[in-house]
Amino acid sequence: MPGLPFGISGGSFPGLLFIIMCYDAPQQIRSIVLVSDSLAEIFPMPSAQSVVQRQRTHTRRIDVEGWKREDGLWDIEGRLTDVKDFDYPLASGVRRKGEPVHAMWVRVTIDRDFNVLDADASVEAAPYMGGCERIGFAYRRMVGLNLVRGFRRCVAQMFETVKGCSHLTELLNSLPTAAIQTLAGEMRDTEGATPGSQPWQLDRCHALEATSETVRRYYPRWYRGPQTETQSA
């Protein structure tokens, strides 16, 4: 295969446009990317392996994308699909192997402060079409919520049990962090939404607790742990 710079090599194979292999060091492959007209999948190496022989029976995929709009707002879109590796008998009929049992999407439009200004949802495949897809309109109730201020708690209550679709509601849980990543390039990671305010990511996970060594090293202004002799001086 023709060599490419920066520890990457690629080449053409039947059925694929090209293959890219990323190297950590010579002859040490970190990942392989297969790219075709309809496929772009990353297979980490080594993959998680089981010591027991097994057969895959189900695949759930959740994809979330962030889009910057020309009007200054952002769309965060999530899609969930469930596919079986066998013909799946349902009360509504048999879902053939490879056909989605569930396929649905949700979109929220937000501003720079993560306020939800618009929302939409749709069910495209479900076990009980004629019933399942009727709930999509209910998710417009998310308008007025804020993705980073109690969003998951609010939607869990708002769409619990018969008030919503359990799969759509589960998909909503992926939106807040995806929105943060979408807007990450719009702000410095050393300050919050307003100049001089605490960075939004602090105290939101174990590594970035204000008393941690990570915060002391990278965000010393916001460090709240024990002071070292150098810091005290």
Query: How high is the mean pLDDT of the chain?
Result: 81
Give pLDDT tens digits for 40-51.
445 454 567 788
| pLDDT of 5 above 50 | no
Q: Which residue has the higher pLDDT, 8 or 145?
A: 145
pLDDT at 196: 74
pTM: 0.69
Q: In what order do the strands lie in the sheet containing 40-44?
A: 3-4, 8-13, 16-25, 28-35, 40-44
Compute the average pLDDT of residues 124-133: 93
| Percent of the chain whose pLDDT exceeds 90 | 57
Give pLDDT tens digits for 50-70.
889 999 999 999 999 999 999
Question: Would you place residue 182 in the very low, low, confident or very high pLDDT band (cuts 50, 70, 90)?
Answer: very high
Q: Which residue has the higher pLDDT, 122 or 30?
A: 122
| pLDDT of 178 above 90 | yes
pLDDT at 37: 43
